[in-house]
A and B are shown apart, each in its own frame.
Chain A
Amino acid sequence: MLSISAALFSDLRDEIQNKYNNGHIFKASYTNLGINDQIDVYIDENVSIQSEENKVIPYEINVDFKKIHLVSWQLVTQTLDSEKNSIRLQIVDIDPLQKSISYKLPEVHWIKIKAITKAAFDIVTFAVKLAIGLAGIMALWLGLMRIAEKSGLLQYFVRIIFPLLHWLFPAIDKKHPVLGSISLNMAANMLGLGNAATPMGIKAMQQLQELNKTKDRASDEMCMFLAINTSSVQLLPPVTLIAVMGLGVSELILPIILATTASTIAAITSAKLYARARNKLCN
């Protein structure tokens, strides 16, 4: 919606300012003589035709052109060459005595509207190509992660995380099974396995709900758990990132770990502070 209105707005503005010189008659002079010969025409005025979307319609050029090759000056429409690109000019009048030529540029309307329509159709093909490309790397990575899961690698991470949980959730008894679910969820998140983490997270949430005293309102523990989850503790980048970035992802591993550490610290701090503020209100 916003894009279409913006496109309409800028098209109307261009229309009013006549940015593309629709209907304007330019003068040019030529040097060589000879009917039906190729002649060179030099444009007197400094004309520049600019197309902002130089990939798209209407002019496939973005140049100041000085030289026109007319194949025949009796034809109404002629072609102006500028290297590879070309544009059709409409010849209005030719004066052999003055060696001058008057011409119009092709009319241009609704650039942005045409551009967004074209962009929309182009991108859809790109989306499917992208997804098919993703399939290969996703299959490879999730295949590897499945091996990691089955070989019990996840359990090692659980062992590292588990002792930290008591500090994060002081109200929960150390032996309660919910801590197991939470640590599994975090371990899966650390390995970038968002899809595997979700079911474990839901299980942890259900167990937290059993401990929750007000059933429709989120407890402090739930908020803490959620905040940590949304900040995504991450050692390996998420599968989809690997799929999109390919090998380029390896140099991002360190930045991601640093950034995610910052966001996790922010999550824990803000959850702790909010919890403290809420408990003060209650007491």
Chain B
Amino acid sequence: MQLSALIIPLLILFIISFGLYKKVAVYEEFVEGGKEGFSVAVKIIPYLVAMLFAIAMFRASGAMEMIIGLMAPLFDFFGIPAEVLPMAIVRPLTGSGSVGVLAELIQTHGEDSVIVKIAATMFGSTETTLYVLAVYFGAVNITKTSYALKAGLIADFSGFIAASVVCIYFFG
């Protein structure tokens, strides 16, 4: 996978050169976008605190072990480490919260662990279904969502399974 190391630098080079080619004020726009990045990072602090707090308590109390122990046979059946379970639960509910879950997994299991890779792929390959549903339907006053939630959760579930299978194939 030597090629993958090139993707990000090439992308950065490409975006900047393309911007220059299209005569975009590269520096000004970069700074403008960067400001947004900072405010987003600050905005998610309370969500991070709440989620990390909950997970830390959950883990320290031993409740995590109990649940992982209960779910382990099911996960073992698919060959997926049960530690990724919190990500699967939190991901459809809250975006900033799942950043917290991921950060916590990195701290506990290390960045190079398969667990973290699966969780990160889960994070990257699905969206905050309930949030999107609430925002989009809320904006147009739809109260009967018919099958939108079901379809969204089916998509999430397939994404999780696919993420696990793909990561175990690549890194396991």
Task: State the A residues within 8 Å of B (CB).
Answer: 2-4, 6-7, 10, 52-53, 56, 112, 115-116, 118-120, 122-124, 126-128, 130-132, 134-135, 137-148, 150-153, 194-195, 198, 201-202, 205-206, 208-209, 215-218, 222-223, 225-227, 229-232, 234, 236-241, 243-245, 247-256, 258-267, 270-271, 274-275, 278
Asked whether, in the complex, the Cβ of B29 is within 8 Å of the Cβ of A146, the reply is: yes
- Asked if residues B15 and A260 are in contact (CB atoms below 8 Å), the reply is no
Q: In the complex, are the beta carbons of B22 and A274 less than 8 A apart?
A: no
Q: Report B-chain residues with C-beta under 8 Å of the C-beta of A6.
A: 61-63, 66
Tell me if B142 and A218 are in contact (CB < 8 A).
yes
Query: A127 and B45 in contact (CB under 8 A), knowing A7-B61, A229-B136, A256-B121?
Result: yes
Cα A48 to Cα B42 with chains together (Å): 47
Give every chain A residue within 8 A of B7 (Cβ-Cβ).
Answer: 250, 253
Q: Is the CB of A119 within 8 A of B59?
A: yes
B18 touches A151 (CB 8 A): yes
Q: Contacting A240 at CB < 8 Å: which of B95, B117, B158? A: B95
> Can you list, as one digit per residue, whether each of B14-25 has a CB less than 8 Å from chain A (1) or not (0)?
011011011010
Binding site for A on B (CB under 8 A): 1, 4-5, 7-8, 11-12, 15-16, 18-19, 21-22, 24, 26, 29-38, 40-42, 44-45, 48-49, 52-63, 66, 92, 95-96, 99-100, 102-104, 106-107, 111-112, 117, 120-129, 132-133, 135-137, 139-148, 150-152, 154-159, 161-163, 166-167, 170
The answer to whether B159 and A262 touch across the interface, beta carbons within 8 angstroms, is yes
Knowing A144-B12, A230-B127, say if A223 contacts B159 (CB, 8 Å). no
Instruction: Assess whether B158 is in contact with A263, with CB atoms less than 8 Å apart.
Output: yes
Interface of A is mostly: helix
Kindly provide the distance from the CB of B94 to the nearest chain A CB, expressed in whole angstroms: 12
Q: Which residues of B contact A202 (CB under 8 A)?
A: 135-136, 139
With a cutoff of 8 Å between Cβ atoms, the chain A residues found around residue B106 in the complex are: 244-245
Say yes or no: A270 contacts B154, CB within 8 Å: yes
Which of A150, A201, A205, A271 lies in contact with B19, CB distance below 8 A?
A: A150
Within 8 Å by CB of B155, from A137, A217, A266, lies A266
Q: Number of residue pairs across A and B with beta carbons under 8 Å?
A: 337
* Sample of 8 further A-B pairs with CB below 8 A, known A241-B124, A252-B120, A266-B159: A134-B99, A202-B136, A226-B136, A230-B152, A231-B152, A251-B1, A251-B5, A256-B124
A127, B52: Cβ atoms closer than 8 Å: yes
- Of B22, B148, B154, which is within 8 A of A266 by CB? B154
| Contact yes or no, B156 A135, CB < 8 A | no
User: Is there an interface contact between B95 and A194, defined as CB atoms closer than 8 Å?
Assistant: yes
Chain B residues with Cβ under 8 A from A259's Cβ? 121-122, 124-125, 159, 162-163, 166
A261 to B165, CA, bound (A): 13
From B95, B104, B126, B141, A260 is in contact (CB under 8 Å) with B126
Residues on A with C-beta less than 8 A from B15 are 144-145, 147-148, 151, 153
